[in-house]
Amino acid sequence: MANESATITVMKMAARKASIRLKRDYGEVGHLLISKKGPGDFVTAADVRTEKILREELGKARPDFGFLMEESGEIRGNDYNRRWIVDPIDGTTNFIHGLAHFSICIALEEYGQVTAGLIFDPINEELFWAEKGTGAYLNDQRVRVSSQQNLKNSIFATGIPFGNNLSKIEQNDFLQKMQGVMSASAGIRRFGSASLDLAYVAAGRFEGYWENKLNLWDIAAGILIVREAGGIVTDLYGKDYMATNGSIIAANPSLHKPLLDLVKLKV
Ligand code: 2AM
Ligand code: CA
């Protein structure tokens, strides 16, 4: 059983409270899928409501901390050095389509460093969490990255660009990189939630994961959880600027470099 701080207890309670309504809302999406209007507006409301519950719960427990939240943006607290980084639904597109693969993400950043992270998949009741220096956990069990050393036996997750969020040149570059990984590995998965992709790397389910154009709230908790599970996380240039350039690669220590060699960004 893990020894956890008061902070992580606060985070877990907030996530569990927010998840009760969120699960009910997810149940509604099923009905709305076949309605003319579709579930889009309803899901936006669910997103905002979940964020509000998280803000209230975290704010009650730590009144001075600030927030960076997907829906509300930056909210300064009295304590300038501590803030919660929150994504109320990571995997919103899955949620909208009635696909049961999304999470609530909470990270605590202190003096610019994430010191605690939580990723909660409320449908599967999987709560991934870590605190700096004390390891990574799935519910009450310690998790570690996979020990696989060969690319050819490995599966990797990624996020395939959608709509026009990449230029044609970037799209082609991505396709070329996918081709490299698909030839070298046992396969690629695209599950649609950056946080759960990172959580699954931490739990050894995926050997690695890479994606570009993400926001800090998608990855803040996951970076800590993967590192505490013994994995390596960098940006797609092999550096530590995930928060500023929004690119990320996470893998077990044996496969981080081989995967990076296949998917590295040049410019
Ligand atoms: P979201 O569900 O919170 O939007 C899917 O590839 C991953 O990309 C998800 O974790 C998703 O988070 C994230 N993402 C970041 N920016 C996005 C955007 N503008 N539209 C859709 N997904 C986005
Ligand atoms: Ca997200």
Give me the pLDDT at residue 1, please. 57
**Within 10 A of 140 (CB to CB), how many other CB atoms are there?**
9
Distance 89 CA to ligand 2 centre (A): 6
Q: 177: Cβ–Cβ under 8 A, 6 or more apart, which residues?
A: 262, 263
Could you give the CA distance from residue 122 to residue 254 in angstroms, rounded to a whole number?
A: 31
Tell me the residues surrounding ligand 2 (ion) with CB < 5 Å: 87, 90, 218
Considering the domain architecture, whether residues 173 and 131 belong to the same structural domain is answered as: no
Considering the domain architecture, whether residues 166 and 216 belong to the same structural domain is answered as: yes
Q: Which domain holds residue 60?
A: 6-143
Predicted confidence band of residue 36 (pLDDT cuts 50, 70, 90):
confident
Task: Give the residue among 205, 220, 212 at the shortest CA–CA distance from 237.
Answer: 212
Distance 214 CA to ligand 2 centre (A): 8
For 59-88, give one letter per residue: b (16+ CB within 10 A) or e: beebeebbbbbbbeeeeebeeeebbbbbbb
The answer to whether the CB of 121 is under 6 A from ligand 1 is no
Over residues 219-260, the pLDDT tens digits come to 999 999 999 999 999 999 999 999 999 999 999 999 999 999
Predicted confidence band of residue 164 (pLDDT cuts 50, 70, 90):
confident
Cα 16 vs. chain centroid, distance in angstroms? 17
Over residues 80-135, the pLDDT tens digits come to 999 999 999 999 999 999 999 999 999 999 999 999 999 999 999 999 999 999 99
Report the CATH number at residue 172.
3.40.190.80
Considering the domain architecture, whether residues 139 and 10 belong to the same structural domain is answered as: yes
Considering the domain architecture, whether residues 99 and 162 belong to the same structural domain is answered as: no
1 part of a folded domain:
no
**Structural contact between residues 222 and 250, judged by C-beta atoms closer than 8 angstroms:** yes
Predicted confidence band of residue 67 (pLDDT cuts 50, 70, 90):
very high
| Listed residues 121, 143, 165: the one ending a domain | 143
The residue to which tokens 């230029």 are assigned:
167
Q: Whose CA is nearest to atom 17 of ligand 1?
A: 214
Task: Give the residue among 226, 225, 227, 245 at the shortest CA–CA distance from 235.
Answer: 245
Considering the domain architecture, whether residues 30 and 135 belong to the same structural domain is answered as: yes
Q: What are phi and psi of 115, to 5 degrees?
A: -110, -15
Distance 192 CA to ligand 2 centre (A): 9
Distance 185 CA to ligand 1 centre (A): 25
Distance 194 CA to ligand 1 centre (A): 7
Predicted confidence band of residue 197 (pLDDT cuts 50, 70, 90):
very high
The answer to whether the CB of 87 is under 6 A from ligand 1 is yes
Predicted confidence band of residue 154 (pLDDT cuts 50, 70, 90):
very high
Over residues 179-195, the pLDDT tens digits come to 999 999 999 999 999 99
Q: For 20-44, what is the mean pLDDT?
A: 88
Phi-psi region of 230 (alpha: psi -120 to 50; beta: other; left: phi over 0): left
The answer to whether the CB of 91 is under 6 A from ligand 1 is yes
Q: What are phi and psi of 58, to 5 degrees?
A: -70, -35
Question: Which ligand does the CA of 94 lie closest to?
Answer: 1
Q: 99: Cβ–Cβ under 8 A, 6 or more apart, which residues?
A: 91, 192
Report the CATH number at residue 97.
3.30.540.10
Considering the domain architecture, whether residues 183 and 130 belong to the same structural domain is answered as: no
